């Protein structure tokens, strides 16, 4: 939960709720944009790249704002984020493995 040291509890409550709806609008907006893009843009690497970037943006907002990871201490943020490097490794590993299998099939 975001901390507002200078606000009264009532004002802090209002600020929090406003922030929640702001993030909701961002998530809904991005999803709607992805949706239109699925019909307006020809399939291909460029479209896939845009989809993946927008997905990561959405993931950032969900984890940072809805799960409040942004307002946790740094050590906890790193403890959650750094292990995800294994996912990056796994993507690279299976991409290289996948192209190997295709070549030898």
Partner 1 sequence: MSTVAVPKKRSIWDGGESPLKVSYGKLMMWFFLLSDAFTFSALLITYGMIRYMHPTFVGRPAEFTFSIEYWPIPERVYEALPFITGHYPLIFVGIMTFILILSSVTMVLAVEAGHRMDQRDVEKWMLWTIVGGIAFLGCQAWEWNHFIHGEGIGTKMVDGSLFTGANLFQNQYGPPAFADLFFFITGFHGFHVFSGVVINIIIFYQVVMGIMAKRGHYEMVEKVGLYWHFVDLVWVFVFTFFYLI
Residues that bind partner 1 (CB under 8 A): 1, 9, 13, 16-17, 20-21, 24, 27-28, 31, 34-35, 38-39, 43, 48, 51-52, 54-55, 58-59, 62-63, 65-67, 72-73, 75-76, 79-80, 83-84, 86-87, 90-91, 94-95, 97-99, 101-102, 105
Whole-angstrom Cα distance, residue 80 to residue 47? Answer: 29
Entry field: residues in the chain: 105
Closest CB 38 distance from partner 1, rounded Å: 5
Whole-angstrom Cα distance, residue 64 to residue 67? Answer: 6
């Amino acid at each position: 939960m975001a901390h507002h040291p200078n606000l009264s509890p009532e004002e802090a409550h209002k600020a929090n709720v406003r922030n929640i709806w702001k993030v909701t609008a961002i998530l809904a907006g991005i999803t709607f944009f992805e949706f239109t893009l699925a019909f307006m843009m020809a399939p291909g690497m460029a479209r896939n790249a845009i989809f993946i970037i927008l997905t990561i943006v959405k993931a950032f907002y969900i984890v940072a704002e809805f799960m409040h990871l942004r307002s946790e201490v740094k050590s906890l943020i790193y403890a959650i984020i750094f292990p995800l490097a294994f996912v990056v490794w796994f993507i690279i590993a299976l991409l290289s493995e996948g192209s190997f299998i295709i070549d030898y099939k």
